[in-house]
Amino acid sequence: MMESELDKDIEKLFAASENISGKVYTSKQIKDLPIPVQRYFKYSLRENQSYISYVRLQHGGEFRASKNWASIKGEEYFTVQKPGFVWLGKVPLFSAKDVYI
């Protein structure tokens, strides 16, 4: 079975990134950051929370094409350690892809 171009892009994205899921966040890491940034991290992260290496996101919504709106479904893959992404969006008339590796 042949891999699609999208599958090849996703494989290339993940191969270029390092898995950092074994690392954990501690409040000691943010002690030198500005107070508003520290507050945000203390609010949004838990002590000893694992880092995120990879994310797959699916979305839906509306896409404006000229004066009309069309339904869109999308799928995106992100990497963190060497930032990158692969995005595929589909509307009834066409598909679009964006890649940053």
pLDDT tens for the chain, 101 residues: list them: 446 999 999 999 999 999 998 999 999 999 999 999 999 999 999 999 999 999 999 999 998 878 888 899 999 999 999 999 999 999 888 899 999 99
Phi then psi for residue 30, to 5 deg, are -110, 5
Q: Which residue has the tokens 């290339």?
A: 12
Distance, in Å, from the CA atom of 67 to the CA atom of 86, rounded to the nearest integer, reads 28
Distance, in Å, from the CA atom of 23 to the CA atom of 80, rounded to the nearest integer, reads 13
Q: Which residue has the tokens 């899921």?
A: 21
Q: Is 70 helix (H, G, I), strand (E, B) or coil?
A: strand
**Which stretches of the chain are assigned E, i.e. beta strand?**
54-65, 68-79, 84-91, 94-100
Distance, in Å, from the CA atom of 78 to the CA atom of 59, rounded to the nearest integer, reads 14
CA angle 3, 79, 72 (to 5 degrees): 65
The answer to pTM > 0.85 is no
